[in-house]
Every structure is written in structure tokens, then in C-alpha cells.
Chain A
Amino acid sequence: MAAERSLSNRDDSQRIVVTGMGAISSLGHDLPSTWAALVESANGIRTIERFDPTGFPVTFGAEVSIEHAGPDLKGSLAMRAASEALRQSGLEGSPRVGVFLGSEADRPPLPLVATRMHRGQTPTADEMAASAPWAPTRSLARRLGAAGHQGTVSTACTSSAQAIGEAMLRIRRGELDAALAGGVDILVDPLMVTGFAILGALSTRNDDPGAACRPFDIDRDGFVLADGAAMLALESLAHARKRGAPVLGELLGYGCSLNAWRITDAPPDGRGAALAMNAALRDAGLSASAIDYVNAHGTSTPQNDVSEARALQTVLGSSVDHAWVSSTKSMTGHTVAACGALELLFCLLAVRDDVAPATRNLDNPDPDCALRHVAHHSVRSPIRFALSNAFGFGGNNASILVGGAP
């Protein structure tokens, strides 16, 4: 009932639909192969090959390697995911089409940095321009011929969820007809491994990478760095119908919040996360009982998983036994600036196929994380509405609620 109310409250120019989806991850080089592997609970986490990890505190990650990527791997991943989404959508650039990406500043390859230091050289202007966080946004806008608003969001793990939210708000407001939105990140890098390991945030199960990421499990010990990109073609329902585009699903509600807690921890009661989820539900005009599946942020760190579980218990209330919950990071690793977009795609596909993907390695659920977990194997179950959570390092939270094609 609540769903029908929400759908009729907005006219077709304010309803945001997805007409194209693209992704590249350690599980697959496009969305269909990634999704197929995810449904099979495949493992995308292995010993690092990009550099020799011997001697590093962490020797594994969820790498993506593609041929002919050149020095700009990040740009190549973004372009590949965007091309897949645009092919499916048929969306073409115009002054009323924007581009919104979650992206952090890029880092030049460390061997290059070392050589330069040795020679007393510094980066060129072109290299600096290419490493700015907004570089992939500009590049995709040029490729698409999109002359509408461009936005780059750098809020760590919430970046792409907030970029998608920003695109939703601008289309609803009538500033744009359509947008390409998503995120990209490259994390399997010696400095990232060093920096996050020093912070104590990474799993150190070097002897068994496939079992390392175990969100909500009692034996979890940290997250796993990953590479990836995910893109969505978004437009108003009216615009999609007018041009006869395929409508793959609908973004029903978006909410975001801040923790106001600590830089490196989430509040034990999950207060900030609950605010974001409730805001998304309000935006969609739905009650928590409508949620059939939650793709949790679920990083596999001891504190964050408890915080998110408590937030979900608070928000779902008596429906906590109804909504399936899983963290697909157990298979893809943590793609940080791209995870919000990647996991939103998984929610759209969960609704399309009535399949909730699993949390791999969830052998012994933590009693402090009591939820209706999808452990080990995906489950077939009617999924009408799904919620995607993205909670960032530093305390940014974003939640997006999705439904099937209208």
C-alpha cells in the first residue's frame, strides 16, 4: 500500500529510473559476469599480483587487471563501466545530461614517484590535472558529450552513493533530464595497503585471502582493499518513456547523514546510519516493513558491522526478521569510492531477479549483529524493494532505496 502511495506522489518527470548499468570488479569485467559470480558466492579476493606484496602486513586484495589499460587504470575502469551502461541505455549527451562521480584524487604509480624523487623531478601539469578527483568526471562528460552539470563527490566510502543521490535530486528538480552517475576507485596499491594497515583497518588473513572478508562474522578482523567501477544511466521516467529507453528499475528514495562521532569509528548505536536509512524511507514514502533486502555496507571491521547492525535493528524494528541482509564486500572487497554505486546495482539486480546475494564466509554470525542474514549462498525470495547502504570513513552515511521497473 505504502509503495503505491509513493509512486503516485511524484509525476513521471520526478521519478528517477535506471536505463543503463555497467560495472567492472574483481568478480567480472562487466555487470552480467559480476552478478553471475556474486549469485554463486564466488571469491574475488586473492594474493596481490600488481606488486610484490612479500613483507607487507597485508598481501591480498580484490584486484582488477585489464589489458591495454595504460597508465590510467582508474580512467580505464570508469570508461569501461560507463560504456556498458551507455550502450544499454542508448543515452546520448546533451546540455541537459550531467555526469556525477564518486572519486578520490589519484596517485601516480609508486615506482614513478620513486624515480622522480631520485632525479629531483616533479609531476607535469598534465599529470597533475589527470590526478585531480574530478578528472574521470570531466573525461566521461567529454566522451558522452554531456554538457549539463558535472559533480564530483569525495566522501570516501559514501562518494558514489552521494554522487548518485545528487544526480537524483537534480533530475527531480528539473535541472537535468538524465545523468551518468557512479564511482571508481583503485585501492590495491602499496601506499594504500601501508596506510590502512597502519590504521589497523585491514584483515590480515594472508594465509587464506578467500576467507578474509567476513562481514557480521564473529571472527572478522578488517576490510579488504579492492578496485572497481560502477555506473548507472539515470533519467526521469518521462524522459525515458519519451525516447523509448529500457527501464531497468527505479531509485525511490535517497537519504544522507553524518555521524558526528569519531573520525575512525562508527557510533556503537548506529545513530547516524539510522538517520540516513530513515531519510531514504521518508523520501520514498515507504515504511521499513516494505524493505525485502538490504545490501549492507558491511565492511567486516569489528566496530562498523555492529554499528550498522544496531542501526538496521532500530530502523527495521519488528520487520528485522523479514528483510534479508548481506554484505557483498565479502566477495568484491571494498571499492571505497565505487562501492555505493556497485552495491546499488546489486540491489537493482536483486529486485529484478528476486535473488538476495549472500555474505560469503559468514560461518558464525556475531550475536551483536543479529539480522536475517543471507549466509554462504544466495537465496531466492520475492524482493520488491531493496536498500543499499554506504557509510564512509569520517562519518558520512548515505542510503538509497530501489524498486523494480514501473
Chain B
Amino acid sequence: MKIAVCVKRVPDTEARIKVAGDGKSIEESGVKFVLNPFDEYAVEESLKLKEQAGGGEIVVISLGTDANQETMRTALAMGADRGILLKTDVAAPDTLAVAKALAAELKEGEYDVVLFGKLAVDDGTHAVGAMVAELMDLPCVSSISKLEVADGKGTAEREIEGGVEIVEFALPAVLTTEKGLNEPRYPALRGIMMAKKKPLETKEVSVEVSGVEVTGLAHPSERQEGRILGEGPDAVPALIDALKNEAKVL
């Protein structure tokens, strides 16, 4: 089974994000960058699929600058076989432009399964996987929390409001992964050592510049610090009164 896992380099979720001097980007110095948390589920699922199939190849693909190599090595350390960096200098390209560049590469690879994290925790667009599927005319199930694949077919579950959708599909397919699908393994020391020697190819790609323009980034307005109404159960009547008569939400 040949599997592609598309990954993104993002700021750690615990990082404090500061708007840079230009007012249109973020200050990157001092920010720790990691493999997008949702992509970890995609990498883990690819390893499970390969183990289940009794063989195959897992290719990690990422779009961005040379800095992405470190992120890709994390996936290689978890067990992926090789990497392809689609190198571009376009900062924060539009989702459709990213999808087009990835789809062009993925078409070459003839993959049985293409995996993405359901969203990247930086821009949170939740879009690229489904766009790639549309551009490649492949079936796609997004935000999967359970997956079974056998005999060229699959069944996936995806969480919806107050329930779970059961979706059946044929391979090749694009799948995007939700938390809960699996427990991503930690790279072992041996894996980290081996990852340094795994092939990581760089391809220059041109990415369209979209018509969407970021005109400004700002920090959300600080919430006014509220008040402590008291200690213990005795403070409850004051809370009920405030919610009913002041905030008018009860």
C-alpha cells in the first residue's frame, strides 16, 4: 500500500502569538514550531495501514520553506519512509493554491491513500484535504474518528453534531484525521536516528498568489477582568442575581 501524508509546520499550541511590526504577520522568533497536532493522527494512521497491509511505502509531503524539513523529520522518526518538500517562498499561501500544488504532486505518486490532519492549528481552515480530493476527483471523508480498510474499500466514521456519520468509500481516497482516531506514537530514539538518514527530496514549486489579502492582524480585545463574587456555595445567590439581572443571560 502506498500512502501519502501531507503535513504542516505550525506554532506549538502553547505558544504565545505576537503580531509582527508589519501588522500583517506574526513574530516568529522565540516561537517553537511543531508538526501540526492533527497531522500526528494522520502519520500514525498511515503506519497502522502499512502494518495492516503487510508492507508498502509512506511518503511525507509538505509545502513551505526549508524550515519544514525539521517538521518532516518528526514524521520520518515516527516511521514514515521518505519525504518530499515542495519548496516555495510564498508566505501563507491561500488554501486553494496550496491544494493545487499538493494535488499536482500527489497525481504523480499514484497513492492508494492520501492522509491529512483535519485542520492546521495556525490558520484553522479545515479545507486543503477536501480541496485536493475535488481537484483529483477522488472520494474523500474528512474529520474521521474511526477507519477500517480492506480489499480496496473503506468505512470511516466522522463526528457530526450529536452523532456520527458512517461513510463507505473506494480506494484510492483522501482522508482527513480527527483527534480520537488513534494514539500517535512517540518517536523512539532509534527512529530519530534513522530519520536523519531517510531520503528527503526537495522540489521547487510555484504557488499561485490568491486574491485574498491580509490587511491586518490584531490581538483580540482584552476581556475586562470581571469580579470574584465570593467564596464557596454562599456566593451562589450573588451569581444567580448577576446572571439574571446584570448580564441578563438567565
A, B: real partners: no
Q: Using CB atoms and an 8 Å cutoff, list the residues of chain A in contact with chain B.
A: none
